[in-house]
Amino acid sequence: MNISVKTASHTYEVIIGHRILAEAFAKYEQLFDKADQIIVLTDKHVWQAQEKYFTDNASFSFKTYIMPAGESCKSFENYEAVQTFLLEQRSTRKSLIIAFGGGAVGDLAGFVAATYMRGIPFIQVPTTILAHDSAVGGKTAINHKLGKNMIGAFYQPQAVLYDTMLLSSLPEREVLSGMAEVVKHAMISDAQWLEEMLEGDLVHLPEQLLAQYLASGIRVKANIVEQDETEQSVRKYLNLGHTYGHAIEAAAGYGRLAHGEAVMIGLVYCLLLSERYGKITRNFTKRFLHFAVANGYPFATVKDYSFDELTTYLLKDKKAEYGELQFVLLKTIGEPFMQKVELTVCQEVDNELRNLIAEVVS
Catalytic site positions: 118, 139, 181, 221, 231, 235, 239, 242, 246, 259
Determine phi and psi for 119, rounding to 5 degrees.
125, 115
Q: What is the separation of C-alpha 165 from the centre of its chain, rounded to a whole number of angstroms?
A: 19
Determine phi and psi for 199, rounding to 5 degrees.
-90, 0
For 29, the 3-state DSSP assignment is helix
CA-to-CA dists, residue 60 to 29, 31, 283, angstroms: 9, 11, 55
CA-to-CA dists, residue 137 to 7, 119, 158, 228, 339, angstroms: 8, 16, 11, 10, 23
**What H or E segment, with its residue span, contains residue 223?**
helix 207-227
Q: Are strands 2-6 and 11-17 parallel, antiparallel or unpaired?
A: antiparallel
Is the Cβ–Cβ distance between 30 and 234 less than 8 Å? Answer: no
**Nearest residue to 28 (alpha-carbon basis) of 107, 123, 150, 100:** 123
- How many residues appear in the chain? 362
Measured CA to CA, the distance from residue 114 to residue 116 in angstroms comes to: 6
For 298, the 3-state DSSP assignment is coil
Q: Are strands 122-126 and 96-101 parallel, antiparallel or unpaired?
A: parallel
Is the Cβ–Cβ distance between 69 and 254 less than 8 Å? Answer: no
In this structure, what DSSP letter does residue 202 have? S
Q: Which amino acid is at 269?
A: Y
Measured CA to CA, the distance from residue 284 to residue 333 in angstroms comes to: 10
Print burial letters for 85-108: b (CB count within 10 Å at least 16), e (below 16): bbeeeebeeebbbbbbbbbbbbbb
